[in-house]
Structure 1
Amino acid sequence: MLLEIERLTKSFAGPEGPVEVLRGVELALDAGRTLALTGESGSGKSTLLHLVGGLDTADGGSIRIDGQEVTALDDAGRAALRRGTVGIVFQQFNLIPSLTVSANIAFQARLAGRHDPDRAARLAAALGLTDQLEKYPEQLSGGQQQRVAIARTLAARPRLVLADEPTGNLDEATSGAVLDQMLELVSETGAALLMVTHSQSLAARMERRLHLRRGRLE
Structure 2
Amino acid sequence: MLLELESVEKSYTDSDGCVPVLQGVSFSLKAGQTLALTGESGSGKSTVLHIAAGLEFPDAGAVRVLGQDLAQMDEGARAMVRRNDIALVFQQFNLIPSLSVAGNISFQAALSGSADQSYIDGLTDALGLGDQMHKYPEALSGGQQQRVAIARALAAKPKLMLADEPTGNLDEGTAARVLDEMLRLVAQTDAALMLVTHSPSVAARMDRELHLIGGQLT
TM-score by length of 2: 0.99
Tell me the distance in 1 between the aligned counterparts of 2:49 and 2:208: 16
Q: Deviations over 1:117-138 (max 9, x none)?
A: 1111111100000000000000
Tell me the distance in 1 between the aligned counterparts of 2:170 and 2:34: 21
Tell me the distance in 2 between the aligned counterparts of 1:198 and 1:38: 6
Secondary structure class of the residue paired with 2:131: helix
Q: Indicate yes or no: 2:104 matched with 1:118.
A: no
After superposition, residues 55-66 of structure 1 pair within 5 angstroms as 55-66=55-66
**Residue in 1 that maps onto 2:87:** 87
Q: CA deviation at 1:4?
A: 1.0
Tell me the distance in 1 between the aligned counterparts of 2:154 and 2:45: 21
**Residue in 2 that maps onto 1:175:** 175
After superposition, residues 1-218 of structure 1 pair within 5 angstroms as 1-218=1-218
Q: Deviations over 1:82-101 (max 9, x none)?
A: 10111111110000000000
Tell me the distance in 1 between the aligned counterparts of 2:195 and 2:90: 11
Q: Deviations over 1:140-193 (max 9, x none)?
A: 000000000000000001100001000111011111111100100110000000
Tell me the distance in 1 between the aligned counterparts of 2:67 and 2:38: 26
Secondary structure class of the residue paired with 1:195: strand
List structure 1 runs of 4+ shifted beyond 4 angstroms.
Answer: none
Q: CA deviation at 1:74?
A: 2.2
Q: CA deviation at 1:214?
A: 0.7
Q: Percent identity?
A: 60
Tell me the distance in 1 between the aligned counterparts of 2:107 and 2:133: 13
Tell me the distance in 1 between the aligned counterparts of 2:165 and 2:78: 22
Structure 2 residue ranges without an equivalent (≥5): none
Q: Which amino acid aligns with 1:192?
A: A
The aligned length equals 218
Q: Which amino acid aligns with 1:160?
A: L
Q: CA deviation at 1:20?
A: 0.5
Q: CA deviation at 1:54?
A: 1.1
Tell me the distance in 2 between the aligned counterparts of 1:115 and 1:191: 17
Q: CA deviation at 1:69?
A: 0.5
Q: CA deviation at 1:27?
A: 0.7
Secondary structure class of the residue paired with 2:176: helix
Secondary structure class of the residue paired with 1:132: coil
Tell me the distance in 2 between the aligned counterparts of 1:110 and 1:18: 42
